[in-house]
Every structure is written in C-alpha cells, then in structure tokens.
Structure 1
Amino acid sequence: HKKEYVYLCCYDDNNWIPVCWSIPRKKQALFTKVGVNVLYLPAYYENGAIIPAGNAFILKENGELKCFSQKANKRETFATFYSKTPYRLHTALQAAGTIGTRFSVCNNKDLSDSLNVYTIEKLPFYEDSFKIPTNKKYRYLVCNFQNTPTFQDSYSIAEIKIFGENQQQLKGKLTGTKGISDNKLENVVDGDRVSFYQPNKSEKHQYIVFDFGKPCKIEKVEFYPRSDDNRIVTGELYELFYWDKKWISLGQQYGKENRLTFHSIPQNALFYIHNHTRGKEHRPFTYEKGKQVWW
C-alpha cells in the first residue's frame, strides 16, 4: 500500500479504533510494548475509513499470533449464543443487588395477611421468573426489598411483569417507595428493559405494591434487574457476522428461548452479533468449546 503509516487497531463497542502507529518497511511494520491477550487489526487509514493491512489477530501471551483468515473450510455443526456483549461486572452487581427481594400476595389493604411466595436467592441473569401454584385469588402483589444488600449503587429494578390465567398480563394501580429523580416507580411497568426504578433509601419502608382492584389468580411473575440489556431476547431480530478482512453476514435469526442457534458456521473465526430490533452495543468473540469468548 502506498500509505506512509500503518496503524494497529483494537475494537471498541462498534468499530476498529487505531491505538498506535508505525512506518512500514517493505512488508513489515514494528509495534513495540504491545499488550497480550488482545484482539488487533493492522490497518491503513484513508478518507475516514479503516482499510485492513492484514488479518485480524489475537496476540497470545507466548508471543504467537492467532490470525483470523477463513481459507480453511472447517465448520461448526451448530453453535448457541446467549449474548451480544460480555456480562460486565457492573451489570452483575446490579443484578446481585436484587438478591433478598421478597414477593408476597395478600387481600387485606394493610397487607397484614401477606403470604411470601418467592425470594430471590440467586443472581438473575438479565431476567428471571417464578410461578405461584395455587388456585386462590389475590388482590395485591408486594415486592419487598427492605433487606437487600448494598453494592456500588442503591437497589434498582427495571421491570416487573405479572401474568394471570391464559398468560394474560395483569394491570393495576402501583404504590410504594418513591423513586429517585427520573428513576421513578412507574418505570417498573413501562415496558422498557433499560429504564429502571431506584427507590429513595431514606424512606422507612422499601416496597412496591401492585393493586389489581379485585382478587385475581396470579400464575407467573417475571422480573428484570437493571442491566445494559445485551442478552439475546426472545422475539428480537439478530444478525451474525464473521470477520474475513471485512464483516460478512451469516444470516439473520429471531431470538428463541433467549438464545440463538446457528448451524454450519466457520470454525476458529471471529464473530459479532447485531440486534436489528434495538440497541447498538456489541463485542467481537470467538466460539471455543461451546462457549462465547469475548475480545
């Protein structure tokens, strides 16, 4: 290439970004003090665009380069994907902050007859649910977070969905602890998995009450902790790409059971998943021994 400089790029949330440069000598370019176990792409920069100057590669700890070039024809029989970005630490902490939340049902307005039906005891991965196996009807569902732990942030939850007979979602009046700023109580029923409710911890009682107006049969409750909403979601449209000097599509697919399953895709390839329904974030990954490994 006639360009004077060649760059070494890393990948951010959406694109290759130059992080250092070198002046090429014939067909070689020297980069010093380079971090290991990192994904790189040598590239030129022309008219605002990144032009590959070689294969993308991972620099291993022993100094070897694992290059991504799809000249070989080996294929994965099938591969299953659960997310389009890694499960970040702050997302895990936000989910862990809901552990200890107690759900109860009752019919008295003063909540004196509350019956505990579920307690969050394990970290929910973006979403979880529970069923209430009884034919008895209840007017109120109470979500009590009085005794939840405190990590970096105060308690927060994105959505709570309540279903009655025939999978019909129940609606009702919402009361409880006042929310902080824009993170208001109504956010738990706005249908948006990114907006969230964060209660004012200075209030004595920490709870949400759903009043259905009359006793109803409650069959299932779904809850979504605050998150970046980057898991695979049932019913949303995704596209899988692999890298071979550019991103090449392997087809589109709707999420099913919060996962994607693709058949006959390249082995030892670099992939990323794009959500066409909503959201912009994604990260490149490899597929190793049945798992997504992020770079």
Structure 2
Amino acid sequence: YMAEFPYQEKWLKANEYKVIKGKVYRVTYSLNEELAKKKYEYSNFHPVFCRPFFHDVTDIYTAERNRMLTIPVDSLYYTPNNEELVYLCLANRQQWIPVAYSQLIDEKLCFNNIEGGIACILATWDGKQLSMLSDPFVVSSDTGEIHFLNPQKCTHDVNLYRKFYMAVKGYFYSRMIGGVIEGSNRADFNNSDTLFLVKEAPYRLYTVAHLKSDKAYRYIRYRGAKDSYCNIAELSFYENRYDTLPMYGKIIGTPGCYGNDGRREYTNVFDGKTDTSFDFKEPDTGWAGLDMGKPCKVSKAIYTPRNDLNFVYKGEMYELFYWGKGKWNSLGKKKAIADSIVYTAPKNALLYLKNHSSGKDERIFDYWNGKQRFW
C-alpha cells in the first residue's frame, strides 16, 4: 500500500497508485544472484546492474498497465550484434540512466515489464560511457504506442510556464478545481454571489479571472472546493480589468492550518508571496478574502495555486535545450520578463528547461497541442 502523505486515512494498493513509474525495483538485503551472474557473461554490463541488491517488481505496481516494449531494428541508428546488450534508459535531469536491458532477437528488441507514459532512449555501454542507439521516444500509457522524438528542421514557438511537474497529476493545482470567488455585502456571506468558478487546474504562476458581475460588494473571498483544504498561494482583486494595482482591504478568512503552527494561515493568500500558501486544517469550508470597508465593484482577480516553486519567474535566467544528434543542444539563455518565456524550437523535439537562478527540480518534456507535456 502507498500514500502521498503518511496521515492519509485511505492508502492505495500499489497498482492503484497513479504516479507513472516506468520501471520499479524493490531494494533487498539479499543479492539478486541471477542478475549478478550476468556481469560475467557480458563484457558490456553496465555498473547499475553489477551488484543488484534489488528485484524487478514492476508488474506488482502497474497491473494492467504493465507492457512488453518492442522496438524494431529499423528504428535504431545501427544494428547491434546479437550478443551486445542494449539498455533502455530513462532521464534524470540531463542524464540518461539504464533501467533495463535486452538483446537483438529476430530483428527487434524486447523489454519486459515496462509501464507506459514515459520517455526513453536506447543506448549501448562500452565500459566507460553510454552511446545512444536511437532517438528518444515516448510510450503511450493507454495503448503502448511508441512515438519517436526526432527534431525537425521546421520550428515553432513554444510558450513555457514550468520547468518541472508534480508527479501526482499536479496535486496542489488540481485542488483548485471547483473553488469559487464569491461576493457579498454580509460578513457571514449569506446571500453571496458566485463571481467565478475555477474549472481547470492552473498551469502558470498567475491566472487571470474576469469576474461576471456589475454589483458592488464589501466582502470578496475565495472558497475552496471539497477536499481541497482551501489550497491557494496568492489572490488579488482589481476594480477594472485593465488595472495593474490590486485593491486593498482587511484580510478575513477561516483561521487554522495544517499542523496548527501558523505557517499556512489564510493571511498568506494576501502577503504578496507566491511561495507561501493557505492550507486549512479541515478538508472543507476553508476560505480567504478581503473586507473592502465599503461596497466596491471588482472586475478581475489573479490567483496562484499552492505550488512547488517550479513555475517560470520574472527576472530569473533560463536556458532551453533540445535533444538532437545524441546530445543536448542549447537554444540560448533568456531572462524571463513575465511568468512565461518563449523560445523558437524544432518541432517534435525532446526539450529541457534549466533555471540558472534558483532551484534544482527539472524534467524533460515535449510540446504537444500548444502545451508542455512532461515525462
């Protein structure tokens, strides 16, 4: 059984856990003797597998998502000899790490116990370094279909908002779905009007919401959705949709936060810091808002979800890379002037955005249907 947090009442079975794993090994005290013997059979046995105190348990954790991955020889840069080991590698930042190996049989490579929803590359090992044997490719989590990411000569603009993603399907961001912005002229918010409904998880640092009401309200708030713990990092209100200076008022809300240590109270929502957030002590009924002192018209709101500090931040230096010809190629450094950054990149390329100013969390992605798709 597994859980995101130890205090969760309901733990999930390993094969119900939705984080994409690709390959799962269980660390053991005993040596995997069958695998350990392989290093004497092959001259190009990668060090990862030389002292294997682990066993492959991918099938336990993936259930019906467990697949055999088959790569035809015509997808490779060259044809390896039948005795040469070929490694399936997954990315760790800008490095490729072997997670499985196979040999060419009947003009194809087969890798057992692989979960879809991953980006991989094939390589050989000469005792000192990996040599790439293929372009990177992604494996569909639904069908197991393989798509190779070979950069094209034609280019397109890519709008980037993040350098990393949260493994649990954007956990904190998804908690905003179903949250509402409400206006009222009563402090208890009886007879309140819904001005905006959050319908999708935010994908950028600042999301603009245009509020639908011509009425004036003294009290404006964000009320979290069910089971959301009212997770939100920042919120600001504007009288007119073109205003850049936010409205001010007395901060109001439901007191109490997780841990009861005062670090995640409702006041964080209006402190101007996107790295602090509200985490209410109860899953429901939490809210944070402003008392304007008198009825005011509000036309716009800008909100930031509780986050992991991996958005694009104004003033920080970034560098975009694409994978081509067996290595990472830089598309140049840029300083962000907003919460997004735009590059011109080859189509159908595997990409990697590095922040030179702060943070270490970075992950490969491609650009699919106008959005970043992380792997």
Same fold (TM over 0.5): yes
The alignment yields a C-alpha RMSD, in angstroms, of: 4.4
Letter in 2 for 1:5: F
Q: Compared with structure 1, are the counterparts of its residues 272 and 200 closer, same or farther at alpha carbon in structure 2 (3 Å cutoff)? A: same
Q: Structure 2 counterpart of 1:75, which letter?
A: C
Residue matched to 1:16 = 96
| Corresponding position of 1:141 | 219
Counterparts of residues 1-295 of structure 1 (less than 5 Å)? 4-6=44-46, 7-12=87-92, 15-20=95-100, 32-33=111-112, 35=114, 38-41=118-121, 42=123, 44=125, 51-58=130-137, 74-85=153-164, 90-91=169-170, 94-106=173-185, 110=187, 116=193, 118-126=195-203, 127-131=207-211, 140-143=218-221, 145=223, 148-150=225-227, 153-163=228-238, 167-180=244-257, 181=259, 182-201=263-282, 206-212=286-292, 218-232=298-312, 236-244=316-324, 245-255=326-336, 258-263=339-344, 265-288=345-368, 290-295=370-375
Aligned to 2:71: none
| Matched length | 277
1:132 to 1:97, Cα distance in 2 relative to 1, 3 A: closer
* Cα 1:124/1:9, change in 2 over 3 Å: closer
Does the aligned pair in 1 maintain the 2:183–2:220 contact within 8 Å? yes
Give yes or no for contact 2:238–2:245 (8 Å, CA) kept in 1.
Answer: yes
SS at 1:125 equivalent = coil
Q: Match for 2:303: what amino acid?
A: F
Deviation at 1:197, TM superposition (A): 0.5
State the distance in 2 between where 1:195 and 1:112 align.
26
Unmatched segments (≥5 aa) in structure 1: none
What is the rounded CA distance, in whole Å, between the counterparts of 1:238 and 1:196 in structure 2? 25
Q: Shift of the alpha carbon at 1:160? A: 1.1
Alpha-carbon contact 1:97-1:149 (below 8 Å) kept:
no
Q: Structure 1 residue 13: deviation in Å? A: 5.3
| TM value normalised by structure 1 | 0.68
3-state DSSP of counterpart to 1:186: helix
Cα distance change, pair 186–15 in 1 and its aligned pair in 2 (3 A): farther
In the superposition, relative to structure 1, how do residues 79 and 16 fare at CA in structure 2: closer, same or farther (>3 Å)?
Answer: same
Alpha-carbon contact 1:105-1:117 (below 8 Å) kept: no
Contact 1:98–1:157 (Cα < 8 Å) also in 2: no
Q: Deviations over 1:41-100 (max 9, x none)?
A: 4264989xx644444432768999866666xx7121434444434576542674354514
For residues 283 and 164 of structure 2, what CA distance do their matches in structure 1 show?
Answer: 35
- Identical columns (%): 25
Cα pair distance change 1:105/1:254, threshold 3 Å = farther
3-state SS of 1:167 partner: coil
